[in-house]
């Protein structure tokens, strides 16, 4: 089986794509492509690559029926730069392999994330971990200035401690979550699709969602058929449980919605709304 070379991917290899104010995503390496997925799926039949249309249909079938192992044959390595609070959400996806810059060995740069005014919002009234309506411009500017002042002060203290000989592992303690960090991250396509399914969702925090959006566009160059299938099968789909499916049948038949529990009904209606928006 020949090594997979994708011309479109080669053109962007090692290219930095800016994310947020100071962050980036860079694809360092890739292994495999759409053809590797179908070759891996067909190996038990002893068949080689067929036509593009047949390959696309096979990839759709594999993803739709959750035959995941062929997608594990495709692997990506990224170099990422992001605020620490985003990185701490990132590491919850434990199937990835990560090597991060260490503040015990390195002097951290004076680089902090400052949210744009359009990102400074009030707490959502119905989502305990989300944002709600925007503040007016003057209030948002006040918060933005406070971010900058706090970050500047914390870095001055950090640098002063380092200059006076304090151990770096001690001096770093008060640096805020807005500080930028960098790491190399490797993940196979099956697990990457799961990551993207969660982090592309409209309920995901904005700052991690924009990284997911950029990664999606990067991997599209490597395996466009698989990404297209992912968008159709996973990213732009809504899943209903058994109780919700019965409610859908009743509604379509002109009958009363049998779901009475208020919380369950709210989740059901949100799924309907999401499906219409998609």
Highest-confidence range of 42-51, 133-142, 228-237, 247-256, by mean pLDDT? Answer: 133-142
User: What whole-number distance in Å separates Cα of residue 120 and Cα of residue 152?
Assistant: 19
pLDDT at 263 > cutoff 60: yes
User: What band does 277 get if pLDDT is binned at 50, 70 and 90?
Assistant: low
Q: Half-sphere exposure of residue 188, counting CA atoms within 13 Å on the CB side?
A: 12
Catalytic residue among 26, 36, 172, 199: 199
User: What whole-number distance in Å separates Cα of residue 46 and Cα of residue 28?
Assistant: 32
Helix (H) or strand (E) holding 18: strand 16-19
Active-site annotation holds for 199: yes
User: What band does 44 get if pLDDT is binned at 50, 70 and 90?
Assistant: low
User: What band does 173 get if pLDDT is binned at 50, 70 and 90?
Assistant: very high
User: What band does 2 get if pLDDT is binned at 50, 70 and 90?
Assistant: low
Question: Domain residues of the chain, as ranges?
Answer: 7-113+178-235, 242-277
CATH of 7-113+178-235, one of 3.30.200.20, 3.40.30.10, 3.30.1360.170, 3.40.50.970: 3.30.1360.170
Of 37, 63, 67, the residue nearest 52 (C-alpha): 37
In the chain, alpha helices (H): 7-12, 34-42, 52-64, 84-90, 137-163, 168-171, 189-199, 206-222, 224-230, 242-252, 262-277
250 near 258, Cβ under 8 Å? Answer: yes
């Amino acid at each position: 089986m020949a090594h997979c070379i994708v011309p479109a991917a080669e053109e962007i290899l090692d290219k930095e794509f800016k994310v947020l104010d100071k962050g980036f995503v860079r694809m360092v390496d890739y292994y495999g492509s759409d053809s590797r997925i179908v070759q891996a799926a067909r190996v038990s039949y002893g068949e080689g690559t067929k036509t593009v249309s047949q390959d696309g249909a096979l990839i759709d079938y594999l993803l739709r029926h959750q035959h995941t192992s062929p997608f594990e044959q495709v692997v990506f390595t990224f170099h990422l730069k992001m605020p620490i609070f985003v990185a701490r959400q990132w590491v919850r996806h434990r199937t990835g392999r990560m090597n991060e810059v260490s503040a015990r060995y390195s002097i951290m740069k004076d680089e902090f994330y400052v949210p744009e005014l359009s990102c400074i919002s009030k707490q959502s009234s119905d989502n305990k971990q989300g944002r709600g309506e925007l503040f007016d411009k003057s209030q948002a500017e006040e918060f933005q200035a406070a971010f900058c002042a706090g970050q500047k002060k914390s870095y001055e203290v950090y640098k002063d401690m380092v200059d006076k000989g304090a151990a770096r592992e001690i001096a770093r303690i008060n640096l805020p979550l807005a500080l930028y960090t960098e790491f190399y991250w490797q993940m196979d396509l099956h697990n990457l699709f799961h990551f993207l399914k969660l982090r592309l969702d409209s309920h995901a925090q904005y700052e991690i969602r924009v990284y997911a959006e950029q990664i999606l566009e990067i991997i599209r160059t490597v395996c466009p058929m698989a990404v297209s299938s992912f968008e159709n099968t996973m990213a732009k789909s809504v899943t209903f449980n058994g109780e919700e499916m019965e409610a859908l049948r009743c509604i379509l038949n002109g009958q009363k919605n049998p779901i009475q529990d208020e919380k369950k009904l709210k989740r059901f209606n949100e799924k309907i709304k999401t499906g219409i928006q998609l």
